[in-house]
């Protein structure tokens, strides 16, 4: 076919191919700002040459197919980092609310504790003065009020997180249904030999949204996509989705179930994982410390009361009462009678001999081994550390996510050799960086200890 006709045919065919390539290009341009859109490329194949005697004539190129550019590994890594980022963000939001309860040194439990012991100290100057005694009762009321308020607010945050679990599960179910439908369309197009690019883009977008809700594992086989939860519970298999449900768990909170199994403890990361982490681990840990403080403090102060006598010469009675298990929420005053403060050590109304025992509660270790002030400082520190950790996780996962997105956005035109070489250099640099941050960690530890211990 090495004739003019053949040349014209090749040229005409090449125009068709160019037209196809232009269509793809314009589609890429039109979707340049579309979130999740994967750039498409045209795959050209050389047409079968024609043999004529000893000569071989080329017959041009053919548009083999249009293919979306995607890097599956990067896409999976991005989904993983999205899970981390979303989980950290949820934890940070919740922990900032919790931290707010403890951050103001002029109010709350810490300030109320100090004010309470100050009022007892004042009473020592004139133990029969009713106004001074009333001031102690008022300070005690403020203190139990602070405990109650803090415990109540913690429970409210926990309850609000609990309510969002059902909402997240609804969103997960809605997304898995959509992904299963898209999966079916992708399968149909692949069977017809067509590029399911736009459907895959939509699917990736939905998977990304899903990974922001919970940790998922993505497996792609020739039979289609399978999505599972962290523990391997199926969410999507091919064109079929499997709903999660919520139900009451052992702790009275809403747990997540898959096919009758409680999978709450296996959910990590994502906003659902972050919610469960703060609801089931962080807040209970802080509440437990708070309960210990309230209970130990009340027990210790009541014991000091019992060592003295009230204004009427009777043996001191408990000032505080509480219910075991909910100490911070339930602590209250056993009496509001100002005469009940057992200031006297011998039953004489003017004695202030037992005030030293009442004040000692402030400076002596409670049953937990620490003074009330130190115990409270630990609670503040725990809440602060949890918030700081969430902040560090959020910053780190955001940086990693940006890095991966940047890499995904720039994969065109990069040769595999260059990419591999770069990765090797990165790997060495990260190893060096690990040495640096270990050194910095040692330096900061040493210097911070030196400053406080000098």
Partner 1 sequence: MPISDATREQTDLRHLARVQELTQEIAGAIAAIEQNQLARFQESLLRQEYLCGELAAMRWASNGLKDPRQPGAGGRAATVAEKIQESYVALAQLNRVYAEVVKRSKRATELLLAVYSLAGVQPSLFDNDRTLSCEV
Residue ranges in 50-79 that form contacts with partner 1 under rule CB under 8 A: 67, 69-74, 77
Question: Would you tell me how many other CB atoms lie within 10 Å of the CB of residue 67?
Answer: 15
193 touches partner 1 by CB under 8 A: no
The angle, 0 to 180 degrees and rounded to 10, between the axes of the packed helices 197-213 and 72-100 is 30
Is 28 in contact with 40 (CB distance < 8 Å)? yes
Q: For residue 439, state whether it binds partner 1 (rule: CB under 8 A).
A: yes
Q: Which stretch binds partner 1 (CB under 8 A): 34-42, 89-97, 108-116, 213-221?
A: 34-42
Check: CB of residue 6 under 8 Å from CB of residue 59: yes
* Position 181 contacts partner 1 (CB under 8 A): no
Give φ, ψ of 259 to 5 degrees: 50, 45
User: Would you state the structure tokens that stand for residue 238, as one six-digit string?
Assistant: 């091919």
Contact 88, 390 (CB under 8 A): yes
Interface with partner 1 in residues 82-121 (CB under 8 A): 84
Contact status: 42 vs partner 1 (CB under 8 A): yes
Find the part of the chain contacting partner 1 (CB under 8 A) among 208-216, 320-328, 358-366, 432-440.
432-440
The secondary structure element, H or E, covering residue 114 is helix 108-123
Within residues 384-423, the interface with partner 1 by CB under 8 A covers 388, 392-393, 395-397, 399-400, 402-404, 406-407, 410-413, 415-416, 419-420, 422-423
Pick between residue 28 and residue 321 the one whose CB is nearest to partner 1. 28
The residue among 4 and 436 lying less far from partner 1, judged by its C-beta, is 436
Q: Does 437 bind partner 1 (CB under 8 A)?
A: yes
Cβ proximity to partner 1, 324 vs 416, nearer residue: 416
Binding flag, residue 441, partner 1 (CB under 8 A) = yes
**C-alpha to C-alpha distance for 149 and 200, rounded to whole angstroms:** 51
CB of 69 to partner 1, least distance (A): 5
Are the C-beta atoms of residues 296 and 367 closer than 8 Å to each other?
Answer: yes
Q: For residue 88, which of 396, 446, 330 has the smallest C-alpha distance?
A: 396
Q: Torsion angle, CA of 56/58/59/64, rounded to 10 degrees?
A: 120
Q: Considering only 321-329, 342-350, 366-374, 439-447, which stretch makes contact with partner 1 by CB under 8 A?
A: 439-447
Instruction: Examine residue 382 and tell whether it contacts partner 1 (CB under 8 A).
Output: no
Q: How far is the CB of 442 from partner 1 (least distance, A)?
A: 8
- Smallest gap from residue 269 Cβ to partner 1 (A): 13
Q: Please report whether residue 41 would count as binding partner 1 according to CB under 8 A.
A: yes
CB of 265 or CB of 439, closer to partner 1: 439
Q: How far is the CB of 265 from partner 1 (least distance, A)?
A: 24
Tell me how far, at minimum, the Cβ of 19 lies from partner 1, in Å: 12
Q: What single-letter DSSP state applies at residue 68? A: E
Q: Which is nearer to partner 1, 5 or 430 (CB)?
A: 430
Q: Tell whether the torsion through CA atoms of 155, 157, 160 and 164 is positive or negative.
A: negative
Tokens 């560090």 correspond to what residue? 392
Strands (E), 282-324: 320-321
Q: Which is nearer to partner 1, 83 or 302 (CB)?
A: 83
Q: How far apart are CA 232 and CA 238, in angstroms?
A: 15
* Candidate list 40, 201, 218, 296; residue touching partner 1; CB under 8 A: 40
- Per-residue b or e along 90-110, where b marks 16 or more CB atoms closer than 10 Å to that residue's CB: bbbbbbebbbebbeeeeebbb
Quick one: which of 55, 192, 250, 436 contacts partner 1 (CB under 8 A)? 436
Smallest separation (angstroms) from partner 1 to the CB of 282 = 18
Nearer to partner 1, 363 or 428 (CB): 428
Q: Is 251 left (phi over 0), alpha (psi -120 to 50) or beta?
A: alpha
Q: Tokens for 387?
A: 């918030």
Q: Cβ of residue 25: shortest distance to partner 1, in angstroms?
A: 4
Phi, psi angles (nearest 5°) of residue 357: -70, -40
Q: Is 131 or 392 the residue whose CB approaches partner 1 more closely?
A: 392
Scan residues 3-22 and list those touching partner 1 (CB under 8 A).
21
Nearer to partner 1, 219 or 392 (CB): 392
Taking CB under 8 A as the criterion, which residues in 237-276 touch partner 1? none
Q: Which two tokens stand for residue 60?
A: 């041009």
Return the beta strands (E) in 254-366 as ranges. Answer: 254-258, 261-262, 320-321, 332-333
Within 288-402, strands assigned E span: 320-321, 332-333
Of 81, 119, 146, 330, the one binding partner 1 (CB under 8 A) is: 81
């Amino acid at each position: 076919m090495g004739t003019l006709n053949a040349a014209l045919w090749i040229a005409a065919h090449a125009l068709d191919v160019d037209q196809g390539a232009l269509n793809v290009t314009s589609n890429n341009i039109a979707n340049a700002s579309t979130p999740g859109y994967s750039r498409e490329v045209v795959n050209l194949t050389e047409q079968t040459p024609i043999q004529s005697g000893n000569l071989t004539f080329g017959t041009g190129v053919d548009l083999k197919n249009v293919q979306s550019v995607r890097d599956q590994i990067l896409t999976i890594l991005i989904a993983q980092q999205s899970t981390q980022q979303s989980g950290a963000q949820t934890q940070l939001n919740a922990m900032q609310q919790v931290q707010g309860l403890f951050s103001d040194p002029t109010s709350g439990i810490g300030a109320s504790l100090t004010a309470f012991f100050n009022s007892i100290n004042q009473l020592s100057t004139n133990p029969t003065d009713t106004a001074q005694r009333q001031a102690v009762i008022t300070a005690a009321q403020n203190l139990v009020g602070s405990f109650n308020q803090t415990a109540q607010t913690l429970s409210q945050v926990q309850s609000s997180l609990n309510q969002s679990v059902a909402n997240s599960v609804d969103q997960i179910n809605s997304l898995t249904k959509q992904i299963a439908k898209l999966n079916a369309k992708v399968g149909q197009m692949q069977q017809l030999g067509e590029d399911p690019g736009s459907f895959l883009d939509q699917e990736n977008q939905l998977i990304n949204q899903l990974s922001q809700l919970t940790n998922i594992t993505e497996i792609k086989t020739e039979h289609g996509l399978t999505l599972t939860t962290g523990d391997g519970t199926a969410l999507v298999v091919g064109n079929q989705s499997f709903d999660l449900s919520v139900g009451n768990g052992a702790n009275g909170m809403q747990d997540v179930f898959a096919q009758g199994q409680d999978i709450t403890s296996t959910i990590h990361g994502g906003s659902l994982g972050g919610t469960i982490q703060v609801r089931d681990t962080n807040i209970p840990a802080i509440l437990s410390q708070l309960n210990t403080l309230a209970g130990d403090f009340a027990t210790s102060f009541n014991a000091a009361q019992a060592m003295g006598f009230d204004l009427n010469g009777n043996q001191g009675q408990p000032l505080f009462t509480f219910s075991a298990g909910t100490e911070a929420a339930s602590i209250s005053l056993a009496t509001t009678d100002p005469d009940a403060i057992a200031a006297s050590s011998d039953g004489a109304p003017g004695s202030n001999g037992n005030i030293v025992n009442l004040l000692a509660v402030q400076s002596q270790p409670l049953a937990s081994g620490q003074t009330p002030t130190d115990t409270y400082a630990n609670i503040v520190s725990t809440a602060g550390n949890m918030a700081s950790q969430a902040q560090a996780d959020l910053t780190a996962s955001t940086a990693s996510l940006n890095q991966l997105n940047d890499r995904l956005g720039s994969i065109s035109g990069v040769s595999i050799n260059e990419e591999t070489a770069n990765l090797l250099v990165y790997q060495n640099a990260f190893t060096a960086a690990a040495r640096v941050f270990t050194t910095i960690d040692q330096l900061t530890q040493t210097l911070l200890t030196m400053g406080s211990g000098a």
